[in-house]
Amino acid sequence: MTKPFVAILMGSDSDLPTMKASADVLRSLEVPFEMKVSSAHRTPVQTHDYVKDADQRGAVAFICAAGMAAHLAGAVAANTTKPVIGVPIESSLDGLDALLSTVQMPGGIPVATVAIGKAGAKNAAYLASQIVAVQDPALAERIKADRQANTDAVIAKDK
Ligand code: RP5
């Protein structure tokens, strides 16, 4: 039996301050995850091997973050049929280069691309959790409770 988890990959340790937002969300929703620096360009063989291995061990979804010529999410998507979520990192050109590199995938190899930077990192984790929750009703309830807490916080501020 494989234990479901989310795999987070990032192209460089310089992406870590942004990607901490993904880890924080997964931790708060009690979703098991692994986090790894792995580059499409600097460590292509290791990236390929990790994706194949994680896929076998029960990775339900991959979150991939990269900046500049951001090919990591696409390279991961080429090696798995699990859902891949791409987070463009703001490193140059305000992250627009990374956004376009991540989102413009050829037909048949999708990358679900979220917003540039921390907001995207956060939403990538929510999206991955929602994917895991399709087979995990208790997690689905925790996500609903989290949404309700957000709603309550907005209403409380408005009073
Ligand atoms: C990308 O290039 C990384 O994902 C990072 O966002 C950017 C810069 O990397 P470093 O030069 O800081 O390692 O591959």
CATH number, position 89: 3.40.50.1970
Say what percent of the chain tops pLDDT 90.
95
Nearest to 128 by CA among 20, 29, 11, 15: 29
Percent of the chain with pLDDT over 70: 99
Ligand 1 centre from 72 Cα, in Å? 11
∠ CA 46-110-57, nearest 5°, is 45
Alpha helix (H) ranges present in the chain?
Answer: 16-28, 44-57, 72-77, 96-103, 118-133, 137-157
Tell whether residue 53 is among the known ligand binding residues.
Answer: no
Q: Is 11 in the pocket of ligand 1 (CB under 6 A)?
A: yes
pLDDT, tens only, 5-61: 999 999 999 999 999 999 999 999 999 999 999 999 999 999 999 999 999 999 999
φ and ψ at residue 104, rounded to 5 degrees: -85, 65
pLDDT, tens only, 61-95: 999 999 999 999 999 999 999 999 999 999 889 99
Residue numbers of the domain that contains 67:
5-157
pLDDT given at position 91: 87
Tell me if 42 is assigned to a ligand binding site. yes
In angstroms, the CA 146 to CA 55 distance is 28
Ligand 1: does its nearest atom lie under 6 Å from the Cβ of 67? yes
Token duo for residue 66: 């990269």
How confident is the model at residue 59, as a pLDDT? 98
Give residue 74's identity as a one-letter amino acid code: G
Which pLDDT score is estimated for 1?
60
Specify the residue for token string 């990591």: 72
Decide: 132 in ligand 1 pocket, CB within 6 A. Answer: no
| Ligand 1 proximity of 18 Cβ (cutoff 6 Å) | no
Domains held by the chain: number: 1
